[in-house]
Amino acid sequence: MTTLADNRITTLKIVSFALVALWLIIAAFPFLWTLWGSFKVQADFFSKANWQNALSGTNTIRETGSAFTGQGYYGAWVQEEFWRAALNTCIVVFFTVVISLTFGTLGGYALARSGKRYAFWLLMAALVFRAMPHITLVSGYLLPFFEWNVWGILPTTIIVLVAINQPFTLWMLHSFFLNIPKDMDESAMVDGCTRFQAFRHVIIPVMWPGVITTGLFSFLLAYNDFAVTAMLLSTQNETIIPAINSFLGSTQVEGNVMFAVAAVVSATAPLFVLILFFQRQIVSGLTAGAVKG
């Protein structure tokens, strides 16, 4: 719809463009700045003298002979063994996503196909569970886990993250399955399939877009979690987010803040790649519950 009125430049239009431009700068600048700064030495990134040092790298040139240095990354990944944490994160995130999706597709399908009252109450309970601050649940886990001697290991954390993920996964997959026409699996059942066969042969082949989108969000939930991983994992089994937090305590004392900066940039990189490839799915997932509900 292009009309004359639309093409005219109004004050409102200028204001809204300015707002968008301002927002984009505010959104992107911190990341660019930290990425740039992670290749400098501390005296530049946290410059007492002049913030322009971080741009030109005056002290970095003096200390290392070049304007860019990988010292922070070397310190974090090699010296402080950040790779261990990264490995743990891979394990935790992979299993959490796979198990969450398996449980979630089965449950979400059942909820979408059952019009019974109890299905509604289950969804409501899931909504309340979704709102629980994770740390309140953690305070319920600690004592039993210590008693049963399962505290501090990866499988416990995976199971807990799966459970915490479930309410969200259920809601999202439930709304995706509602969009798959009932007739498809019902006609398969008329042809003699059991409910599970109908699910296996008719629903599974067409559900992948929904599952991928939900998987992205389970990934984010598991990857970004701090409350659970910080409280339930021992120091050897730490994932990257609690590892960054413990970096802060230990490295600040030794003046190695740049290790933490490098670790932070390393932790952001996978998310950046994720958005790069899955922007469309993420946006559709964000709005899935909203636009249809």
Partner 1 sequence: MKNRTFFWFILPTLSAMLLFIALPIASVFVQSLHIEHEQVLVVSESCGPFGCRETTSVDTEATEALREERPLGRFNGLSTYTNRAHLAFAEVGEAWRTTESFGDFFDRIYNLRFYRALIFTLTYTAVVTPLVIALGLAIAIGVNNLPRMIKGPAIFVSLLPFLVTPLVGSLILFWMVDSDGILGATLQWLTGDPTLSLKASATLTWIMLMVYGIWHTLPFSFITFYAGLQTVPEDTLEAAMIDGATRWQRVRHVVVPHLMPLMAFVTLMLLMDNFRVFEPIISFQAQAHATSLSIIIYNDLRESGNPLYGSAAATSMMTIAGVVVLLTPVLIRTWRDFSRKAH
To partner 1, the closest distance from the beta carbon of 269 in angstroms equals 11
Q: Which two tokens stand for residue 238?
A: 């730490």
Secondary structure (H, E, C), 61-113: HHHHCCCCCCHHHHHHHHHCCHHHHHHHHHHHHHHHHHHHHHHHHHHHHHHHH
Instruction: Show Cβ contacts of residue 149 under 8 Å, excluding neighbours closer than 6 positions.
Output: none
Judged on CB neighbours under 10 Å (0-12, 13-18, 19+), 116 is: exposed
249-255, long-range: CB within 8 Å, 24+ apart, which pairs? 251/80, 255/42
Q: Is residue 249 classed exposed, middle or buried when 0-12, 13-18 and 19+ CB atoms within 10 A define those classes?
A: exposed
Interface stretch with partner 1, choices 16-24, 61-69, 80-88, 202-210 (CB under 8 A): 16-24
When asked if residue 184 is in the footprint of partner 1 (CB under 8 A), the reply is: no
Q: Please pick, from the candidates 64, 197, 245, 246, the single residue that binds partner 1 as defined by CB under 8 A.
A: 245
Which one, 65 or 197, has the nearer CB to partner 1? Answer: 197
Contact 171, 103 (CB under 8 A): no
* Interface with partner 1, residue 190, by CB under 8 A: no
Residue 152 sits in the site that holds partner 1 (CB under 8 A):
no
Q: Which residues pair with 152 in a beta bridge?
A: 233
Q: Per CB under 8 A, does 197 bind partner 1?
A: no
Question: Is the separation of the CB atoms in 149 and 80 below 8 Å?
Answer: no
Residue 279 binds partner 1, judged by CB under 8 A: yes
Among 78, 87, 127, 190, binds partner 1 (CB under 8 A): 127
Work out whether 246 is an interface residue with partner 1 (CB under 8 A): no
> In this complex, which beta carbon is closest to partner 1, that of residue 205 or of residue 293?
293
Q: Mask 67-106, x = binds partner 1 (CB under 8 A)?
A: -----------------------------------xxx-x
Rounded distance between C-alpha atoms, residue 156 and residue 145, angstroms: 9
Query: Under the criterion CB under 8 A, does residue 180 sit at the interface with partner 1?
Result: no
Least distance in angstroms from the C-beta of 213 to partner 1: 13
The least CB distance from residue 207 to partner 1, in Å, is 14
In angstroms, what is the minimal distance from the CB of 141 to partner 1? 6
| Least distance from partner 1 to the Cβ atom of residue 264, Å | 5
Task: Using the rule CB under 8 A, give the single segment among 62-70, 77-85, 205-213, 237-245 that binds partner 1.
Answer: 237-245
**In the complex, least distance from residue 92 CB atom to partner 1, rounded to whole angstroms:** 14
